[in-house]
Amino acid sequence: MSGETALELADRALGHLDGEGQATVTSERSLMLRYARSAPTQATEIDDTSVHLLSLRDGHVGGAVTNRLDDDSLRDVARRAADAAATAARAAGGPGDHPGLPQPAPVAPAGHHGFDEATARIDPAPGGEALRAAFVVAAEHGLEAFGTWTEGAVQTALASTAGLRAADRVTDAFMKVICRDDGGRTGWDAQAAVGAAGLDPEAGARRAAAKVGPEEPVVLEPGEYPVVLDADAVGGLLEMLAWLAFNGLAHAEGRGALEQRLGTRIGAPSIDLADDPSAARTWPRAFDLEGVPKAPLALIEGGVARHVVHDSRSAARAGGGARSTGHALAPGRSPRPGADEPCAGRRRRRRRGRAGRPDRARHLRDAAVVPQRRPPAAGPVDRDHARRDVPHRGRPHHPPAARRALHGLRPAPARRDGGAGRRCAPGHRGRVLRAALRQGRRLPAAARAGLPHHGLSRANPARGADTPREPGPLGRRSPSPASARAGSASRR
């Protein structure tokens, strides 16, 4: 940004926007290291700044994003955002449901512990040491290590025509370790911290290795069983609750799990669940992507459902005095169901109580232990691919996008006519196929005529099941964990 701060850039971008709107600037530096079979496989670094402009017209929103920061580019992105909002308003033929930009509220300066100076330097040395520790532990147990290590620093600045001016900077570090034996049995562990020094790669690798047992998982008949869930398994349940129960838009539309159940008992009296940005073991944020300050929010108290979370749009739809709880995941929030709906899945905090794990399970002699979530059924390579479940920095509300190879290439069957019936010049087919693969799309039917079959066999859909998927990480953009070019701003 050539000496210009993120907030100054947001102000400059907002000056090109006509009418009501908001400028969101996300500046990110991040590093991701991937490894497989106890060897480094890829290192990706990102250093990028993006500007997202939101335009409002008669309750309808339009947005556009760029990472070109000169005035001509900012003027162009402002025009595109305004055109999108105007087009949406004309197409609807009436007012939209956006209540307008929220009024500025005081944001405590440096009000959280979410920035680590050492991590912000984006030094690859801690990552190299982390991978070395994981490889050593895996070798001790006769296993192979797969996974990802990442660190990043993100600055977010918001400026709006309502008078909002806010800036925040955060860092994060994340490591995932998967240990796998020769038979394909796996165990995994994931850690996250504000800074890279908060990760313990050796301990994480030992936890992953300990989950690789020599025996096959037990298949239980349908019935009721006492169950003990480890932290990773509980995390999967909490993520489901975040979208299905505490989603403010789903609640306002009558499709949430807590519809007409707020204020009633939904669990044991020992259950307390809160979304608390001040908790020590979380990634805090000063405000959401509408500039609403973050604050602790009780979701379940003593087993009683207390609140769901809202952004400005879902709060307006809910009515009854509902207000934004600081959970907007995108500027203006997309009306597409599920895309950017307010979700409580980012800083869940459980009150564990004083008893340790052995004490909590003392009276369950025959309980079924669930140490981790079961990955989707697939081949062993795909099932535990190193980048699965890596957080996405720039758009935390976007699930990792699954990618697979366009074709599972295999040898073409021999032609019975010895090639006498060619319909095109020798070598042409190969050139056409290679060009299509480079462009990342399938061949049109006309060009495909007469070509030998190189795609996945429909008779054997298992071919290609081991094609790795490519999720992208926690608050930054793919391919490394980084902020999003599509313009949503800080992670989470």
Instruction: Tell me if 7 sits within 8 A of 165, measured CB to CB.
Output: yes
Coil/strand/helix, residue 104? coil
Q: Which residues of the chain have pLDDT under 50?
A: 334-339, 345-364, 375-412, 415, 417-424, 429, 440, 443, 447, 451-492
| 447 occurs within a structural domain | yes
51 is written with which tokens? 């500007």
Angle between helices 6-14 and 71-92 (to 10 degrees): 50
Please list, in sequence order, all residues whose beta carbon lies within 8 angstroms of the beta carbon of residue 52, skipping any fewer than 6 positions away: 23, 24, 25, 26, 63, 64, 65, 331, 487, 488, 489
Instruction: Tell me if 315 sits within 8 A of 307, measured CB to CB.
Output: no
H or E segment and range at residue 84: helix 71-92
Other C-beta atoms lying within 10 Å of the C-beta of residue 254: 8
Q: What is the DSSP string of 119-158?
A: HHT--SHHHHHHHHHHHHHHHHTT-EEEEEEEEEEEEEEE
Q: What is the DSSP string of 290-308?
A: T-PBP--EEEEETTEE---
Q: CA angle 55-170-131, nearest 5°?
A: 125
345 is written with which tokens? 């899945």
The Cα–Cα gap between 10 and 22 comes to: 9
Res 433: pLDDT: 52
In terms of Cα–Cα distance, which of 161, 134, 137, 166 is closest to 149?
A: 134
The Cα–Cα gap between 454 and 409 comes to: 5
H or E segment and range at residue 235: helix 231-244
Coil/strand/helix, residue 430? helix
Instruction: Tell me if 102 sits within 8 A of 288, measured CB to CB.
Output: no
Res 488: pLDDT: 33
The Cα–Cα gap between 154 and 115 comes to: 9
| 474 occurs within a structural domain | no
The Cα–Cα gap between 482 and 267 comes to: 37
Res 230: pLDDT: 81
Res 181: pLDDT: 92
Domain with 441 in it: 405-412+425-463
| 486 occurs within a structural domain | no
Res 183: pLDDT: 86
131 is written with which tokens? 């991978």
| 430 occurs within a structural domain | yes
| 445 occurs within a structural domain | yes
Please list, in sequence order, all residues whose beta carbon lies within 8 angstroms of the beta carbon of residue 23, skipping any fewer than 6 positions away: 10, 11, 13, 14, 17, 51, 52, 53, 54, 158, 159, 160
Chain centroid to CA 402: 12
Angle between helices 125-140 and 201-210 (to 10 degrees): 30
In terms of Cα–Cα distance, which of 195, 196, 165 is closest to 287?
A: 165
| 149 occurs within a structural domain | no
| 342 occurs within a structural domain | no
Res 69: pLDDT: 95
Res 106: pLDDT: 78
The Cα–Cα gap between 219 and 221 comes to: 7
Neighbouring C-alpha atoms within 13 Å toward the C-beta of 254 = 0
Count of domains forming the chain: 1
| 263 occurs within a structural domain | no
Which 8-state DSSP code applies to residue 245?
Answer: T
pTM exceeds cut of 0.85 = no
The Cα–Cα gap between 215 and 181 comes to: 12
The Cα–Cα gap between 87 and 384 comes to: 44
